[in-house]
Structures are given as structure tokens and as C-alpha cells.
Amino acid sequence: MTEIEIRDPDAPGTAPAAGEPAPESPYKNLLVPLVVVPALIVMVLVLVFVLFGAVAGEEDSPRQNLDRLLHGGFNERKQAAFNLVRQVLEHEEALAAERAPEWEIDASFLPELRAARESIGELAGPKDVAIPLVLSSLLAQLGDPTGVEQLCAMTRLAEPLDPEREYRLYAAMTLGAIGPRLAERERALAAETLIALLDGDDPGLVLVAIAGLQNLPAPATVPALRGMLARSALEQRASAALSLATLGDAAAVPGLREALAPEPYAAERAASPRKWPPQRVSESRVKALEALARLGEAPERAALEQLAEQDADPNVKRAARALLAAPGGG
């Protein structure tokens, strides 16, 4: 299991000093991976582990972990948060596989989670946000509409509560990831919330919203994503095209063709050398080619053969050969 470093929120130096600007986004240097794999936000509750870290310790029941999450010391809280989220995930996986769940996380547990979330008073600073975010995420994951509403509200946290914008990002990721299981009302609310983020000034939140909308079909989803196809940033255009392709919308095709070609990446890298390292370019081009194929818009056979034989990227070559070898390929 991967260990994740965590800072004690009560320790000095965990927030920007007075007068210092907050970073643009907690994913400031990870924007390109988000465009490459919009489905990155699937299995999302794993993301809340980042808030507390993966720690070893005794195995308590979900109810014991919930109590320690609310009333324990800092180390107890982070261990309880990690364990409780893991237990919910294991419970969900067992149900999906039609196995008997190990943990007693039934309908009777929801009121306890809800009461725990409601017991948290007004948030005074960043150190107060992580626990309610975990509880709201768990409620939403277990199908409680109030959890979804709370996550939507947490995408709009004020700067003093979320100076590094990490909690807003995790809330948005969670909404996108649980989209397929939401009821119509909650799905529409989540879609509306992510669409509102598209015009924000945080590039990380914009990309997370674009990616999440592929799991939130609603009347406004496709028009909002189509609007992103005209953005100046390649990662936003390509992300929107990939999400539209997932929704089966042919408006994605021009953007996917652009993302398949190597030239746009070279142009952006010339202006910003840290952007689009070779591995990310490769992954993005392969994703674009696969998405075109799913839409029935793969390149003609001659173009596929050229990719398979002459492209400088071995991963693109491999993907093109796989399409050529598929029934009806090319």
C-alpha cells in the first residue's frame, strides 16, 4: 500500500504566510495527466486518503472509526478516516461482486454518518475542512442526497477555508466519480455544479469539471462541454473532446483528431517547456485514437497503416495496429 505524506493541519507552515499568494491549484503541475485519463476520477474515494494518509493500526469497526474520526487526536483521526473510507469501499466492492460484506455498513449506518456530519459546527479554517469532506463523500457514496448537496457546496468553499484549493478539487472529483450511481435529481445538481466550475480561474478545477461531466449526463452537460472545445488551452479542448466521446457525441471528432496529431503538443511545449512531456503526449494521442474508434470515426485504413508503420511513437503504432487487426478494422 502506498504511503502518502500528510501534514498535521495544526502544525505551523501548513498554510501560505500572510501576503503570500495561494498556488493556482493543488494539481498545478499535474494538469496533463488529467486530460489524458478523464476516468482518473473513477474509484474516487481513494482520493480522500490524500487528506489523511495511509496509516497502519488496529482494525476497528466502521462505527468505532466514525467515533474516533470525530473525537480522537490528530493521529487517531487520520487513521480512522483512512480505515473508514477503505471499509466503505470494500463494502461496495463486496456488494458489486455479490459477496457477503465483511463490514456492517447497512441502512442503519447512514443516520449515524448523517448525524456525525451535522454535529460539525461552522468551519473556522482549513484544518476544519477535511473531516466534513470525508463524511460528505461517504454519505454521497452510500446514496444519501444530503451528501451530494454538501459536496456541491464544498466546491464553492471560500478562499480562507481552502487557500490551496485542494478541498474544492476533491469535492468536484468525488461528484464526477459517483455520477453513474446518482439519482436523476442529484445527478442534475452535480452536473450544474461542475458546469459552473468551467468558467473558473483555477485550471485544475476546470479540468476536473470537464472530466467529471462525462459521468453526469444531463440536459446542459453536452452543450457545456461543446463550449469548451473552443478554449485556447489544448488540455481543456482535448479533455472536453474525450468527455464528449464518452457521452457518444460526434461533436468530439474534430477535437479528437487534433489531439491525435503530434503538432499541437509541440506548439504548446514550445511556449511552455514543462507542458506535455513525451509520455503524456503519447497517452493523450492513444486516448484520442481509441475515442475516435469508439465513435466510428477512426482514420481511414491508409492513414491507420501510416500510423502503424511510420509514427514516431511506438504506443501510437501499437494502438493503430490493434485497430487494423480488429474485425472491420480500417
Domain count, the chain: 2
Instruction: Answer with the one of 208, 229, 263 that is the final residue of a domain.
Output: 208
CA distance 244 to 247: 5
DSSP H or E run through 319: helix 314-325
Cell of 148: 451530494
Q: Give a yes or no: residue 1 inside a domain.
A: no
Same domain, 70 and 188: yes
Give Cα separations from 82 to 90, 100, 129, 161 (angstroms): 12, 22, 15, 22
Nearest-angstrom CA–CA distance, 270 and 304: 27
**pTM score, whole prediction:** 0.82
Measured CA to CA, the distance from residue 85 to residue 48 in angstroms comes to 8
The reply to whether 100 and 142 lie within a common domain is yes
251 and 119 together in one domain: no
Q: Residues 68, 126: one domain? A: yes
Dihedral (CA of 42, 209, 147, 27) sign: positive
Q: Has residue 20 been placed in a domain?
A: no
Residue 108 lies inside a defined structural domain of this protein: yes
Of 186, 208, 230, which residue constitutes the final position of a domain?
Answer: 208
In this structure, how many other beta carbons lie within 10 angstroms of the beta carbon of residue 324?
A: 15
The answer as to whether 115 is a domain residue is yes
Residue 271 grid cell: 511556449
Rounded CA separation 165/157 (Å): 8
What are the start-end ranges of the H helices in 4-57? Answer: 31-36, 49-52
Are 58 and 170 in the same domain? yes
Instruction: Answer yes or no: do 97 and 240 share one domain.
Output: no
Q: Is residue 26 part of a domain?
A: no
Q: Where a domain ends, among 182, 208, 234? A: 208
Query: What is the domain extent for residue 185?
Result: 39-208
Return per-residue pLDDT of the chain as tens, 330 residues: 222 222 333 333 333 333 333 334 444 444 455 554 443 333 444 555 556 655 555 578 899 988 988 888 877 887 787 788 778 878 878 887 889 888 888 778 889 999 999 998 888 999 889 889 989 988 998 889 999 999 999 999 999 999 988 899 889 988 998 898 899 999 999 999 999 999 999 988 999 999 999 999 999 999 999 999 999 999 999 999 999 999 999 999 999 999 999 999 999 999 988 889 999 999 999 999 999 999 999 999 999 999 999 999 999 999 999 999 998 766
308 shares a domain with 225 = yes
